[in-house]
Structure 1
Amino acid sequence: MYLDSNLKIEVLSSLLGEIIKPYNEKRCGSKADILSVDEFHLYNLIGRRQAYVKEFFIDEKEFFDPKYDYDFTNLSDSSECKRGGELYERPKGWYRMALKVKGKYPDGDTWLGTDGWRSHSVPGEWPVSYHGTSHNGAKGIIKSHYKAGDGSVHGRGIYSTPDIHVAEREEYAETFTSKTTGKCYKVILQNRINPENREVCQRSDYWLVPVHGRASAEEERQIVESSIRPYGILIKEINEEGDDDDGEINVMEAVMRMTKCLLKIKGQMRSQVNQDKN
């Protein structure tokens, strides 16, 4: 998948629900008007942005980190991977636009792990989670209460999931039609989450970073930056009905697995009958 500058700007506009413009020093004036990666994180995770930001401008060179982009759209490798000691299902069918987060935090870059392909975890890195970006559903975000599993209340905080198939559901993932390409896309965030600040909900496919209701704006910022850090925006082309080829493949794979399982059971039963006859 090829993402030109216009499509990247459209992706950000869809995520923020605001018109984004590329920064141009001659037209935009002060650099204070530029939306930083920090502000983007806070806006998406807790719905908050600095009051001084009157318009959204993006300096792509400071916002994106193309050398860490990755095209998973035709991924065929199904090797088991781990990140931060947790299973990591690589986002097959998606394209990752990497955000410029290297060197951004005072505790260094250990949370990202080492560069390059590997199937194993490395010491100090954080697990991967995915975050829905829909304005109507999970725009992340801070929920007053959240019920999962059998209805237990897990509390206020930022929810994400290690299961990309959960994050890409229609009620969670943002979708938009590009004016640049005329195609429809689905968008979610790829994060690293601090295992020390994460709670695993009763439904293990939901992870919570608790944020108490009395937290100030600055305290919320500190909790976010020390607990959950988006490092990529995932985008996937879908058809007009909202389904994607990957979904069809997953259904077919499930049917095939079930068929094999039934055939195996049938074979075992037949073998048992033959033994009984003997």
Structure 2
Amino acid sequence: MGGNNQSRPQSRSQSTVSLQSVTQHQGFPYDLGEKIGEGNFGTVHKGKHQQTKEIVAIKKLKKVNPREAETLKKANHKNIVRLIEFHEVSEITFIVLEFCEHGSLDVYLEKIKPTTEVRKQFIKDMCAGLAYLHRIPIIHRDLKPANILVSRDGVAKIADFGQAKLVVGPDSEVNVDKIYMGTAGGTLAYMAPEVMQRHYNLQADIFSLGLLFCATLSDELKRKIGAQCTAMMVSKGDHSLTLSNLGDDFMEKLITNMLKEDYHERPKARVVYRQIMQHDGPVKQPNLSSVELVAAGIEACTGVEVLLPGEAAKLPGHPNVRKITIHDFFHFTNPAMSFNEKRETDVVDENLIDIFVKSQGGSTGVFGISSDATVSDLRKLISLNSHLPGDYLELFHRACRIEDETPIRQEGIKHGSVVHAHSVGSSQVLYEMDESLLDPGYNYNFTKLNDGNTQYFRGDHTYQRPCGWYRHALKVKGQYEDDIWLGEQRSRTDSSPNEWPVSYHGSKMRNNCIVHGSIATNEPIQGVFTTPSLDIVADKFAETFYFEGHTYQIALQNRVNPDKKNGNMVVIPGEGSEESVEYWLSSKGYLENGFSDVRPYGIIVRLVDDD
């Protein structure tokens, strides 16, 4: 805790003297000094250890849950205010904290007027601290300049966890900490829009962090974005905030993405931190053949941390490692799928919907649940049927962790949605690229090619080659009943007998994105959407990500079963100005390892720095 807090420093007041009388004869090893802060959960005093003479901050609490205190005590990071110890004295709880001499960030910025470089370092510090908290995982819920403290050596540290919440584990239903200062319900000026409806997850912190970046960079930017926030709060329209003319294109794009209204579209804390660190590091030459680039692209699409093959073995203490396969692109990004499995449910409801659940080990199942259910109801249903402990069950939808108190409808879960269930215990789930994922012998560099008027055909459909992209081949030969669907492996413009046509898929390619299609049905659309038009995928659906100083796009190159007799591929013609564009819907034949009627065989990446 710091020396400049919400209340003015006081000399030895009556309250301080009374506290001294409580602690002096109870073996309390600290001397209490002046009061330096006060909030809803207690008061903070400057203190000194009687033997070591270490200066600390001592908080007197009205109430504390020891288990929660122990949890925060484990949060050991240089950018988190350190919890040293806690004592129970005459039924009063005292928490001993690291003392930050320069006080809160807002006071420091106002008094010191630091350079741009110092401000950027504060941003790095805050990113590192939040990325660490989200790994635990803990939601802070009240990030603002007053809750960032600056140490004697100029390091920014996240403090005041009065509104923080554990996401996973026992007692995750209650607020964590009552240890640090905090306001009753977060701070309106730095609150994500979904929190206003009591609907939040880790990504609510990202919105607040984006506003915190603005406040740190300049007073002018703080005022400008503050005015937008005020307008946003009173408006029922778009809640996304935008920046312009910041003078730093990278920070402008990053903060704008952090302030997206839809929390699914905000980057994760670890991604923000990595991008910040890479941006200020040496710019490397683009290397489209890099496996590290592919891993970063998959991570951007799926929203989970992706390690390189064999990398997990170098990280002891992480038993929960899942091999990620290319079909996870569809599982994470496509909200509607076709089910053949028997549904397991005890729920009878006219609003019953089917939800596809994939476990950490790769097993799958279909569960029926009311569309009016909460995430807590879904968690109990999965726990009951899968024999996984509910207290340590993490649920993800569209790559975001979902929370118990929210209705599944509010999380965007509907008929055919895909939910990932992880039983994590006390450690983090890590994803690692499968060694059998890539087949580099079939990689192809299209970056310098331009087909002009030359027409290519695959499966008797026009084939738009991925000119300007680099293709990382997937290991698909021998993975299905035959390899005829791939066609002959030679340079050609024509089709081979019985081969399948080529299509493309972007991770943003969901049912609600297909705005040009015309389907004469009100039933939910099930399956995977692809299109033979790479231009459309690049323009609307390909994931854009930042890696080692450059911006890239990533998409999938697929083969699609053209057999329309059995309903394998539904062709949806485009409308209006995009009349020539088709979307292909492949819904039949779901297999344990993916869709048999849409088969990815390449990951394509391209550099878009100059776009």
TM, length-normalised to structure 2:
0.34
Q: Structure 1 stretch 119-128 or stretch 21-30: which is displaced more?
A: 21-30
Question: What is the aligned partner in structure 2 of residue 99 from structure 1?
Answer: 474
Quick one: distance in 1 between partners of 2:518 and 2:309? 48
Corresponding position: 1:10 with 2:10: no
Question: What is the aligned partner in structure 2 of residue 172 from structure 1?
Answer: 541
Q: What does residue range 113-152 of structure 1 map to in structure 2 within 5 Å? A: 113-134=487-508, 138=509, 141=510, 143=511, 147-149=515-517, 152=520
Quick one: distance in 1 between partners of 2:587 and 2:471? 27
Question: What is the aligned partner in structure 1 of residue 322 from structure 2?
Answer: 33
- Specify which of 564, 571, 595 is matched with residue 200 of structure 1: 571
Cα distance change on mapping 1:9 and 1:147 into 2, 3 Å: closer
Maintained 8 Å contact 2:561/2:597: yes
- What is the one-letter code of the residue matched to 1:148? H
Quick one: distance in 1 between partners of 2:570 and 2:519? 16
SS in 2 for 1:82: strand
SS in 1 for 2:493: coil
**Post-superposition shift, 1:70?**
0.9
Maintained 8 Å contact 1:144/1:156: no
- What is the one-letter code of the residue matched to 1:96? R
- What is the one-letter code of the residue matched to 1:160? T
**Post-superposition shift, 1:239?**
2.2
**Post-superposition shift, 1:152?**
4.9
Quick one: distance in 1 between partners of 2:441 and 2:593? 28
- Specify which of 69, 74, 83 is matched with residue 443 of structure 2: 69
Structure with greater contact order relative to length (CA < 8 Å, sep ≥ 6):
1
Paired residues in the alignment total 223
- What is the one-letter code of the residue matched to 1:239? D
**Post-superposition shift, 1:156?**
3.2
Q: Structure 1 stretch 125-134 or stretch 32-41: which is displaced more?
A: 32-41
**Post-superposition shift, 1:33?**
2.7
Unaligned runs of 5+ in 1: 212-218, 244-278
Question: What is the aligned partner in structure 2 of residue 216 from structure 1?
Answer: none
Quick one: distance in 1 between partners of 2:440 and 2:608? 23
- Specify which of 434, 452, 457 is matched with residue 82 of structure 1: 457
**Post-superposition shift, 1:5?**
3.0
- Specify which of 182, 185, 198 is matched with residue 552 of structure 2: 185
Deviations along 1:195-232, whole A, 9 cap, x unmatched?
01111113251111246xxxxxxx64369532101111
SS in 2 for 1:34: strand
Maintained 8 Å contact 2:506/2:556: yes
Maintained 8 Å contact 1:147/1:153: no
Corresponding position: 1:55 with 2:55: no
Maintained 8 Å contact 1:13/1:20: yes
**Post-superposition shift, 1:11?**
1.5
**Post-superposition shift, 1:235?**
0.8
**Post-superposition shift, 1:31?**
10
Quick one: distance in 2 between partners of 1:110 and 1:44? 28
Deviations along 1:69-109, whole A, 9 cap, x unmatched?
1111110343211000101011111111111111111x211
Quick one: distance in 1 between partners of 2:519 and 2:482? 39
Q: What does residue range 181-260 of structure 1 map to in structure 2 within 5 Å? A: 182-196=549-563, 197-203=568-574, 204-210=581-587, 220-221=590-591, 224-239=594-609, 243=611
Cα distance change on mapping 1:94 and 1:116 into 2, 3 Å: same
Maintained 8 Å contact 1:146/1:153: no
Quick one: distance in 1 between partners of 2:496 and 2:488? 7
Quick one: distance in 2 between partners of 1:18 and 1:72? 29
Quick one: distance in 2 between partners of 1:167 and 1:84? 20
Question: What is the aligned partner in structure 2 of residue 261 from structure 1?
Answer: none
- What is the one-letter code of the residue matched to 1:94? W
Query: Quick check: which has more Rg, 1 or 2?
Result: 2
- What is the one-letter code of the residue matched to 1:202? P
Maintained 8 Å contact 2:505/2:531: yes
**Post-superposition shift, 1:116?**
2.4
SS in 2 for 1:177: strand
Quick one: distance in 1 between partners of 2:444 and 2:545? 21
